[in-house]
Amino acid sequence: MHRFLGSTTLLPTCLSLALAPLLGLGCSTGGASDGDDDFGGFTTVDDDVGEDTAEDGTAEGETTGGGTCGDGVVEGAEECDMGPDNGEDAQCTPDCTIAECGDGYVYSAYEECDDGNADDTDACVGECKLAVCGDGFVQAGVEECDDGNEDDTDGCNSMCLPGTCGDGVVQDGEQCDDGNRDQSDECPACQLAFCGDGYVQDGVEECDDGNDVNEDGCLALCTLNVCGDGYVDPEAETCDDGNLDDTDACPSSCEAASCGDGFVYAGMEECDDGNEVDDDACDNECAFNILSCQGVGENLGQSPNNDMVVCDDPNDQTCEQDMAQLCPAGWGLCSRPQYVARNDGWTYSLTAKIVVGDAYCRGGGGAGHFTIGTYEDPPDLGTDISMNCHYGSSRPSCQASYGCNEQNVEALCCAPTPTCGNGMVDSPEEQCDDGNADDADDCLSNCSWRVPSQQGAGGSGC
């Protein structure tokens, strides 16, 4: 403990009783010890000086081993006595002891506090200073650390908090610290972002599962494992050959090719309609069925993909405007877009009869069929021809109509276009798609225009 003693209070010789009260001290028989330290203009007296004096405090006016504390005369066990100037914040305490750090009295000239203990973890620390961040003492319940400096890069920052990831200061063991907890930026977990760190960096990575394995949902390049990339995701794929070819052993579903998957496996299947109906165009063994024309109709030939068929009334008793009645169930007369999209490689000869597709409204009145086998004189049904409305017919929505004529023609029938009717034109077989099956409006139920010449379809005869 440090004692605060004025430099004039230790007298070289015993002074007169008349002088002693003026100094506030009793008669002393000796000078200061050679080992005393000067402290702020006062002599610091070591604790062993006067160690035989009474330790118990003495109230003002009480006697202390032959002296009365507060009478201005140092007597007996008193270290000092300044009379009325004794005080809790004075050089001489109410106990007539020289003020010292740790006596429980705050000597205001030199002490900020004095709690009477040597505990450096409370609000009053060594040398009777108020505890502050940076004093080197950790104040319990207030500070988490205190290393006595303002270096924010060591283990304890200038706020007396341990350096942590996210405080904006790069500590030992950190590559970066951007002051946030965002794990999707360039500095997740206070380490520079990289593919394989387990954090998905926005705008840079699609995924990051923290490994370099390609046989899971996230590839080693931090891109999603998708069908066609050549890597099999065991949770979503049974195969992946690195392409989206739907005719090989691993189609774009990344499931091994099988009959009924909707993809025609080249060299293995004739067809695959993706259903389990055995009596439609494609049976359950993925082979073509011989399509049945309705009523009196006879099947004279099927397209290579079994999606078009020529049906004929052998007795020539069906009106051309009723030819759709000969088509297989659920089918209709082909539009030109359907025909040109499906006829590749069809060698059906046109030397016998004329083949007619759907009927359209002519611009000049009445209706006419899309006709293959007259005027243009194509050799077979594998030949594309321009739009036409040859062979007059009837359609109730047209301005005028023909009666029953040209009964000796054959009906060109098509399976429905799968996407027709969804309200979007998204197939080469579609010119329009109004999402309904009304054949009296501008867009027919096979997704072609009712009046081709007025819709920019081109060709002649309409």
- Residues 89, 92, 94, 100, CA torsion sign: positive
More confident residue, 290 or 244: 244
User: What pLDDT, on the 0 to 100 scale, is given for residue 3?
Assistant: 64
Is pLDDT of 40 > 80? no
pLDDT beyond 60 at 365: yes
Lowest mean pLDDT among 80-94, 355-369, 446-460: 446-460
Report the C-alpha gap between 312 and 327 in whole angstroms.
9
Please determine, for residue 20, whether its predicted confidence score (pLDDT) is greater than 60.
Answer: no
CA distance 52 to 34: 20
Cα 75 from Cα 86, distance rounded (Å)? 15
DSSP 340: H
The SS3 of residue 341 is helix
324 phi/psi in degrees, rounded to 5: -60, -20
Q: Single out the residue of 168, 23, 21, 47 nearest to residue 10, CA to CA.
A: 23
Proportion of the chain above pLDDT 70, given as a percent:
84
Q: What is the mean pLDDT of residues 349-372?
A: 89
Q: In the structure, what pLDDT confidence band is assigned to residue 5 with cuts at 50, 70 and 90?
A: low
At 339, which helix (H) or strand (E)? helix 336-342
pLDDT at 425 over 80: yes
Mean pLDDT over residues 56-64, rounded? Answer: 48
Q: What is the pLDDT of residue 448?
A: 94
What the block records as the tokens of 108 is 């205001």
Contact 208, 198 (CB under 8 A): yes
Band (pLDDT 50/70/90 cuts) for residue 164 is confident
Kindly report, residue by residue over 88-126, the tens digit of the pLDDT. Answer: 999 999 999 999 999 999 999 999 999 999 999 999 998
Q: What would the mean pLDDT of 227-233 be, rounded to a whole number?
A: 96
- Reported for 256-261, long-range contacts at CB under 8 A and 24+ positions apart, including other chains, are 259/284, 259/285, 259/286, 260/284, 260/286
pLDDT given for residue 103 in this prediction: 94
Residue closest to 233 by CA, chosen among 257, 209, 203:
209
Asked if pLDDT for residue 246 goes beyond 80, the answer is yes
What does the DSSP 8-state code read for residue 338? H
Under the banding of pLDDT at 50, 70 and 90, the label for residue 66 is: low
pLDDT at 443 over 90: yes
Q: Which of 396, 389, 388, 306 is nearest to 346 (CA)?
A: 306
Query: pLDDT: is 161 or 135 the higher one?
Result: 135
Return the pLDDT at 38.
37
Separation between Cα atoms, residue 304 and residue 271, nearest integer Å: 10
